């Protein structure tokens, strides 16, 4: 009877654990990955970037029609995996026509830095992210994105 219960638990829990996997651990190539999370807003994963020992994982959340997107970033120590949730972060968006927008400060909520971005035209965008995190060192991360 115990073997039967254990087998049933394994059959049920292994697929559940696979669904709960952390997206930041998924292998990513240079192209953004578009996902639909159970009817929620579309999410586009950006390729992780590592600069001077800090890993930045980012994604875009699509708003409703005409509401733009939300750029969200999380920073972790590349060696220990410890989350970094203190510091200052700003983003500049380069549009497909080559125009660079003004630096926009990103706000911190629940361990992630975020800022609204308007990506109106189709084409290649670049998010240039400047940081001065808890250790006081300045770093720059560059995220390409194609709409």
> How crowded is residue 28: how many other Cβ atoms within 10 Å of its Cβ?
15
Q: pTM for the whole thing?
A: 0.71
Q: What is the pLDDT along the chain (147 residues), one digit of tens a residue?
A: 444 444 343 333 333 333 333 443 333 333 344 444 444 458 899 999 999 999 999 999 986 555 689 999 999 999 999 999 999 999 999 999 999 999 999 999 999 999 999 998 999 999 999 999 999 999 999 999 999
User: Using CA of residue 21, residue 53, residue 49, residue 68, what is the dihedral sign?
Assistant: positive
Domains along the chain with CATH numbers = 23-146 (2.60.40.1220)
CA dist 1 to 13, 14, 40, Å?
A: 18, 20, 41
b/e 109-146 (16+ beta carbons within 10 angstroms → b): eeebbbbebebeeeeebebbbebebeeeeebebebebe
For residue 37, give every residue at least 6 positions away whose Cβ sits within 8 Å of its Cβ, in sequence order, or none. Answer: 43
């Amino acid at each position: 009877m115990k073997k039967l219960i254990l087998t049933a638990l394994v059959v049920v829990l292994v697929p559940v654990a696979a669904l709960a996997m952390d997206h930041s651990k998924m292998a990513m190539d240079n192209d953004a990955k578009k996902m639909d999370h159970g009817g929620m807003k579309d999410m586009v994963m950006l390729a992780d970037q590592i600069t001077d020992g800090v890993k930045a994982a980012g994604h875009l959340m699509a708003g409703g029609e005409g509401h733009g997107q939300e750029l969200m970033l999380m920073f972790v120590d590349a060696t220990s995996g410890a989350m970094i949730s203190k510091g200052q972060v700003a983003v500049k968006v380069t549009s497909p026509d080559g125009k660079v927008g003004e630096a926009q400060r990103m706000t911190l909520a629940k361990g992630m830095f975020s800022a609204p971005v308007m990506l109106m035209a189709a084409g290649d965008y670049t998010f240039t992210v400047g940081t001065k995190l808890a250790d006081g060192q300045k770093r720059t991360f560059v995220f390409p994105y194609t709409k």
